[in-house]
Amino acid sequence: GQNIDQPTEMTATEGAIVQINCTYQTSGFNGLFWYQQHAGEAPTFLSYNVLDGLEEKGRFSSFLSRSKGYSYLLLKELQMKDSASYLCAAYNNAGNMLTFGGGTRLMVKP
Amino acid sequence: GAVVSQHPSWVICKSGTSVKIECRSLDFQATTMFWYRQFPKQSLMLMATSNEGSKATYEQGVEKDKFLINHASLTLSTLTVTSAHPEDSSFYICSAMTGYEQYFGPGTRLTVT
């Protein structure tokens, strides 16, 4: 079966750094996606990790440890517009499926 | 970049009627498209996986006779909500796959009165 866990809500201050964790247990794992979703909108792609390690893309970085079934999304220099839900999703290459976690609602405060 | 469109973006219909939602990949061919449903403050829930030219694979608990999916071409998949009821009111999102990446449509907000 598939099981994806991430915190439900987080709060952080503008300008700070926040780390959103995601643990997964899934068969046929072939990569971990992070998406950002603002209220009332469809998700937008942030990152895709297949290999272990950290990938940096501007203010956002994503880390994966396949042996631990663990990933995190790191957001630096937080801005108010970063307030959104962040979804991690495990890619299963058997059937080309994405299994989503419940999403983490991040609130950035001044 | 890859673009996926959905039509309509929002629709209001009366209970008992049917509604068709279109999902198109505009600048790429997608052999696989996915249909998701999202209720307020909840994550995406996969409804079905749609492969071009074959029957859709539905997730457990999703009624295939109620949610009709047709994937007639490599750029178009449709979801028809038949005999809609107020509990079907939701945000319906499609995505299309190219390589490892899934690109999401903007979503369709369905309200059944």
pLDDT tens digits, A16-50: 999 999 999 988 888 999 999 998 888 888 998 99
Say what the pLDDT of residue A1 is: 60
Average pLDDT over residues A63-92: 95
Please tell me which of the candidates A87, A95, A105 has its beta carbon nearest to residue B49.
Answer: A95
Average pLDDT over residues B95-107: 83
Query: What residues of A are in contact with residue B42 (Cβ under 8 Å)?
Result: 102-103
Which of A65, A71, A89, A27 is CA-nearest to residue B100?
A89
Q: Which residues pair with A48 in a beta bridge?
A: A33
Say what the pLDDT of residue B50 is: 87
Average pLDDT over residues B46-68: 89
Q: Locate A46 and state its tokens.
A: 């942030």
Return contacts of A79-82, CB within 8 angstroms, 24+ apart. A79/A14, A79/A108, A80/A14, A80/A108, A80/A110, A82/A106, A82/A108
Please check the confidence at residue B1 and state whether its pLDDT lies above 70. no
| DSSP label of A80 | G
Please check the confidence at residue A96 and state whether its pLDDT lies above 70. no
Closest approach of chain A CAs to the CA of B16, in angstroms?
Answer: 26
Q: Locate A43 and state its tokens.
A: 């998700």
Which of A105, A110, A108 is CA-nearest to residue A39?
A105
Please check the confidence at residue A59 and state whether its pLDDT lies above 90. yes
- Rounded Cα gap, residues B91 and A104, in angstroms: 18
Average pLDDT over residues A56-85: 96
A74: left (phi over 0), alpha (psi -120 to 50) or beta: beta
Which of A99, A80, A79 is CA-nearest to residue A89?
A99
CB burial string A8-44: b at 16+ within 10 A, e below: eebebeeeeebebebbbebeebebbbbbbbeeeebbe
Say what the pLDDT of residue B98 is: 77
User: For A7-16, A79-88, B19-28, B44-53, which range has the lowest pLDDT when averaged over its residues?
Assistant: B44-53
Say what the pLDDT of residue A95 is: 58
- Cβ of B46 within 8 Å of Cβ of A41? The answer is no
- Cβ of A41 within 8 Å of Cβ of B106? The answer is yes
- pLDDT tens figures, B14-51: 999 999 999 999 988 987 899 999 888 788 888 998 88
Please tell me which of the candidates A44, A97, A100 has its beta carbon nearest to residue B49.
Answer: A97
Instruction: Establish if A5 touches chain B: CB-CB under 8 angstroms.
Output: no
Say what the pLDDT of residue B59 is: 87
Please check the confidence at residue A94 and state whether its pLDDT lies above 70. no
Say what the pLDDT of residue B43 is: 81
- Cβ of A96 within 8 Å of Cβ of B101? The answer is no
Say what the pLDDT of residue B51 is: 84
- Cβ of A42 within 8 Å of Cβ of B32? The answer is no
In three-state form (DSSP H/G/I as H, E/B as E, the rest C), the secondary structure along chain B is CCCEEEECCEEEECCCCCEEEEEEECCCCCCEEEEEEECCCCCCEEEEEEECCCCCEECCCCCCCCEEEEEEECCEEEEEECCCCHHHCEEEEEEEEECCEEEECCCEEEEEC
Say what the pLDDT of residue B100 is: 66
- Cβ of A43 within 8 Å of Cβ of B57? The answer is no
Query: What residues of A are in contact with residue B23 (Cβ under 8 Å)?
Result: none
Instruction: Establish if A98 touches chain B: CB-CB under 8 angstroms.
Output: yes
Chain A stretch 71-90, residues whose beta carbon is closer than 8 A to a beta carbon of chain B: 85, 87
Average pLDDT value over all residues in chain A? 91
N-terminal to C-terminal alpha carbon distance within chain B: 37
- Cβ of B43 within 8 Å of Cβ of A97? The answer is no
Average pLDDT over residues A60-80: 97
- Cβ of A98 within 8 Å of Cβ of B101? The answer is no
